C-alpha cells in the first residue's frame, strides 16, 4: 500500500512537472497566432486505434480566398425542419436528395466534390491528418475546441453549394434534422410561422432503400417510432443499448437543457476550449469540447451508427449534413437563449484561424473563422422550431454527463460584439 502510494505521488509529481513545463512553453506560443493548415501538410491520421489514410487528392491550382457575402436583393434561403415538409414539397425535396447524392456518389473517386472525398476531408481534419502550418508535427483536430462550430458551418455550407451546383438549383437548402425536439405542440400564440412537430425520429426520407441519400445504418434506426437517444455515453458507443421512449425522452430534454442552458451558459461551456497555434491536438473530448458537441452531437452519431458512428467515415452518410445543419442552427439559437454569457469568442486567435475547403467548382478556398460568425452573410436562415421544449425544461432526471464536462470558464468575453473591423472579410 505504502509503496504504491509513494509511487502514485511520484507519478503525479512527474505529471505535474510535465504539465507545467508544457504550460510554460505553450503559453509562449499562446497569445501568438491562430491555427492554419496546408493540404501539403497532410499526413495519415489516427483514430479508433487505426491509422487513417484520408488526405485530399493533390491540387495544382491556386488557393482562392473566400468570403461569404449576402446578395441583398435576394431573400434569405430557409433551411427547414425535415419533419415538417409535406405533400409536394416533401416529394420534390426527396427527389432532389436522391439525385444529388446519386451524382455525388458516382463522381470519380478523386473528384474533391464526390461524397467519398467530402468524407475523407472530414476524416483528415478530424483525425490529426493536418499538421499546423509553421510547426514540424503538431497535428490538429477540428473537434473538441472552439473550432468545432465554425469549421462545421463552413463544411456543410460548401456541401450545400456543391449540391446546388450539381442540381443546377441555387435555392437548394440543407434542411435540418430537428432531433432535439421530441414533442409535437400547437403553434404557440403569437408565432407567425415555424415547425412544432416532433423531429426526434430517423428522418424517413433518408431511409428509403435505393435512393442516393440512403445508407446502411445501425439496427436502432430500423425500429420505427424509436426516438433518438441523446444519453449515449462514450463507453456505449460501439453498441448502445436500445432504451424505451419513457427513459429516453426526459433525458433528451435534460441533456439539451444542460448543453444549451446550464453547462452551455458560458462561451467555454458551449463552444469548447481555447485552441491556438502550437497547442497539441485535443484527444479527450471531455477536456476540450463544449456541452452540445460532447453530449447531443456525439450521441446522434453513435445512435445512427455504422458509417455515421466514427469520425473517419461519418461525413460519408448523407444524414451527417442534416444532423450538422441542426448543430449549425443550435449554435445560431444559443445566442438568443436568455441568461449567461452567450457570445462567441472574440480572441484574435479564434477570429483569424483559417481552414481550406473545396468549393463547387473544385477550387480550394481559404476561409477565416471570423467570416463565419454572421450567419446571414451566407444567405440562409433556419425555420423556427420548438426550442422552448428544452429551454423551459426543469430537469427531473440527470443529463448524461453534465458533471463530467469541464465548463470552467477560463475565458471572459471582453466585448459584446466582435467589432466591425474584425468582422470585415479578408481580401
Ligand atoms: C489497438 O491496436 C493494437 C494493434 O493493432 C492492439 O494490440 C490493441 O489491443 C488495440 N487497442 C485497443 C484498445 O483496441
Ligand atoms: C443577386 O440576386 C439577384 C436576384 O436574384 C440576381 O439577379 C443577381 O444576379 C444576384 N447577384 C449576384 C452577384 O449574384
Ligand atoms: C516533433 O518535432 C519535434 C521538433 O522537431 C521533435 O523533437 C519530435 O521528436 C517530433 N515528434 C514526433 C512524434 O515526430
Ligand atoms: C449493414 O450493416 C450491418 C452491420 O454493419 C451488416 O451486418 C449488414 O450486412 C449491412 N447490410 C447491408 C445490406 O449491407
Ligand atoms: C428504415 O427502413 C427500413 C427498411 O425499409 C425499415 O425496416 C425501417 O423500419 C425503417 N426505419 C424507420 C425508423 O422507419
Ligand atoms: C451558469 O449556470 C450555473 C448553474 O448551472 C451557474 O452556477 C452560473 O452562475 C451560470 N453562469 C452564468 C455566467 O450565468
Ligand atoms: C443524479 O446524479 C447525482 C450525482 O451524481 C446522483 O447522486 C443521483 O442519484 C442522480 N439521480 C438520478 C435520478 O440518476
Ligand atoms: C445535472 O443537471 C441537473 C439540472 O441542472 C441536476 O439536477 C443534476 O443533479 C445534474 N446531474 C449531475 C450528475 O450533476
Ligand atoms: C477545468 O478547466 C480549467 C481551466 O482550463 C482548469 O484550470 C481545471 O484544472 C480543469 N478541471 C478539470 C477537472 O479538468
Residue of the nearest CA to atom 10 in ligand 5? 222
Residue 406 has a pLDDT of 53
Q: What is the mean pLDDT of the chain?
A: 88
User: Ligand 7 pocket, 28 CB below 6 A?
Assistant: no
Pairwise CA distance, residues 98 & 167, whole Å: 11
Chosen CATH of 2-423 out of 3.30.1310.10, 2.40.50.140, 1.10.1280.10, 1.10.150.120: 1.10.1280.10
Pocket test for ligand 8, best of 251, 398, 400 (most atoms within 8 A of CB): 398
Q: Above 90 in pLDDT, residue 395?
A: no
Cell triple for 120: 475523407
Q: Which atom of ligand 6 is nearest to the CA of 266?
A: 13
C-beta of residue 173 within 8 angstroms of C-beta of residue 164: no
Pocket test for ligand 7, best of 394, 398, 401 (most atoms within 8 A of CB): 398
Residue 28 has a pLDDT of 42
Confidence of residue 415 (pLDDT cuts 50, 70, 90): very low
C-beta of residue 317 within 8 angstroms of C-beta of residue 215: yes
Q: Compute the residue count for the chain.
A: 427
The domain spans of the chain are 2-423
Contacts of 405 (CB under 8 A, 6+ apart): 263, 269, 286, 289, 290, 291, 294, 295
Percent pLDDT > 90 in the chain is 76
Q: Which atom of ligand 8 is nearest to the CA of 262?
A: 5
Which helix (H) or strand (E) segment holds residue 39: the answer is strand 37-42
Give the closest ligand to the alpha carbon of residue 203: 5
Residue of the nearest CA to atom 14 in ligand 8? 403
At 184 the three-state DSSP class reads coil
Which helix (H) or strand (E) segment holds residue 10: the answer is helix 2-29
Cell 435555392 locates to: 171
Cα of 48 vs centre of ligand 1, distance in Å, is 9
Pocket test for ligand 4, best of 216, 221, 302, 316 (most atoms within 8 A of CB): 216
For strand 130-132 and strand 37-42, is the pairing parallel, antiparallel, or unpaired?
antiparallel
Q: Above 60 in pLDDT, residue 82?
A: yes
Q: Which atom of ligand 9 is nearest to the CA of 287?
A: 14
Give the closest ligand to the alpha carbon of residue 339: 6
User: Ligand 5 pocket, 405 CB below 6 A?
Assistant: no
Pairwise CA distance, residues 26 & 20, whole Å: 9
Cα of 41 vs centre of ligand 2, distance in Å, is 37
Q: 3-21 pLDDT, tens per residue?
A: 333 333 333 333 333 333 3
Q: 213-240 pLDDT, tens per residue?
A: 999 999 999 999 999 999 998 888 888 9
Of 315, 316, 267, the closest CA to residue 292 belongs to 267
What mean pLDDT is predicted for residues 135-139? Answer: 93
Pairwise CA distance, residues 27 & 310, whole Å: 32
C-beta of residue 254 within 8 angstroms of C-beta of residue 393: yes
Phi (first) and psi of residue 280, to 5 degrees: -70, 155
Q: 159-211 pLDDT, tens per residue?
A: 999 999 999 999 999 999 999 999 999 998 889 999 999 999 999 999 999 99
Percent pLDDT > 70 in the chain is 86
Residues with a CB atom less than 6 Å from ligand 6: 262, 265-266, 339-341
Cα of 266 vs centre of ligand 6, distance in Å, is 8
Residue 24 has a pLDDT of 37
What mean pLDDT is predicted for residues 375-404? Answer: 86
What mean pLDDT is predicted for residues 73-97? Answer: 98
Amino acid at each position: 500500500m505504502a509503496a504504491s502510494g509513494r509511487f502514485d505521488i511520484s507519478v503525479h509529481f512527474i505529471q505535474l512537472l510535465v504539465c507545467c513545463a508544457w504550460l510554460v512553453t505553450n503559453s509562449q506560443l499562446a497569445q501568438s497566432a491562430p491555427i492554419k493548415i496546408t493540404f501539403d501538410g497532410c499526413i495519415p491520421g489516427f483514430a479508433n486505434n487505426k491509422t487513417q489514410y484520408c488526405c485530399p487528392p493533390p491540387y495544382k491550382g491556386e488557393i482562392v480566398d473566400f468570403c461569404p457575402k449576402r446578395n441583398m436583393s435576394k431573400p434569405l434561403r430557409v433551411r427547414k425542419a425535415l419533419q415538417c415538409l409535406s405533400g409536394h414539397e416533401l416529394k420534390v425535396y426527396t427527389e432532389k436528395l436522391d439525385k444529388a447524392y446519386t451524382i455525388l456518389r458516382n463522381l470519380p473517386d478523386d473528384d474533391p466534390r464526390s461524397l467519398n472525398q467530402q468524407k475523407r476531408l472530414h476524416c483528415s481534419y478530424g483525425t490529426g491528418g493536418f499538421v499546423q502550418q509553421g510547426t514540424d508535427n503538431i497535428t490538429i483536430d477540428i473537434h473538441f475546441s472552439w473550432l468545432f462550430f465554425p469549421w462545421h458551418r463552413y463544411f456543410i455550407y460548401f456541401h450545400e453549394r456543391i449540391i446546388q451546383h450539381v442540381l443546377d438549383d441555387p435555392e437548394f437548402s440543407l434542411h435540418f434534422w430537428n432531433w432535439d425536439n421530441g414533442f409535437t405542440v400547437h403553434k404557440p400564440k403569437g408565432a407567425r410561422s415555424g415547425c412544432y412537430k416532433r423531429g426526434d425520429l430517423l428522418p424517413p426520407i433518408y431511409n428509403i432503400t435505393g435512393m442516393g441519400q440512403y445508407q446502411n445504418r445501425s439496427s436502432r434506426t430500423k425500429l420505427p417510432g424509436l426516438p433518438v437517444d441523446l444519453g449515449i455515453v462514450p463507453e456505449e458507443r460501439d453498441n448502445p443499448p436500445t432504451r424505451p421512449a419513457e427513459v429516453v425522452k426526459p433525458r433528451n430534454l435534460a441533456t439539451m437543457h444542460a448543453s444549451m442552458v446550464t453547462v452551455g451558459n458560458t462561451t467555454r461551456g458551449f463552444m469548447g476550449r481555447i485552441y491556438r497555434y502550437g497547442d497539441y491536438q485535443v484527444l479527450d473530448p471531455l477536456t476540450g469540447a463544449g456541452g452540445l458537441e460532447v453530449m447531443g452531437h456525439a450521441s446522434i452519431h453513435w445512435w445512427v451508427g455504422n458509417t455515421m458512428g466514427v469520425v473517419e467515415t461519418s461525413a460519408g452518410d448523407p444524414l451527417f449534413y442534416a444532423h450538422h445543419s441542426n448543430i449549425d442552427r443550435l449554435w445560431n439559437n444559443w445566442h438568443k437563449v436568455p441568461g449567461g454569457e452567450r457570445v462567441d469568442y472574440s480572441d484574435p486567435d479564434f477570429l483569424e484561424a483559417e481552414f481550406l475547403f473545396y468549393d463547387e467548382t473544385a477550387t480550394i478556398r481559404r476561409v477565416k473563422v471570423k467570416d463565419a460568425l454572421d450567419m446571414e452573410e451566407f444567405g440562409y436562415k433556419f425555420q423556427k422550431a420548438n426550442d422552448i421544449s428544452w429551454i423551459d425544461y426543469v430537469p427531473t432526471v440527470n443529463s448524461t454527463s453534465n458533471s463530467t464536462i469541464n465548463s470552467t470558464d477560463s475565458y471572459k468575453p471582453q466585448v459584446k460584439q466582435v467589432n466591425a473591423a474584425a468582422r470585415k472579410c479578408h481580401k
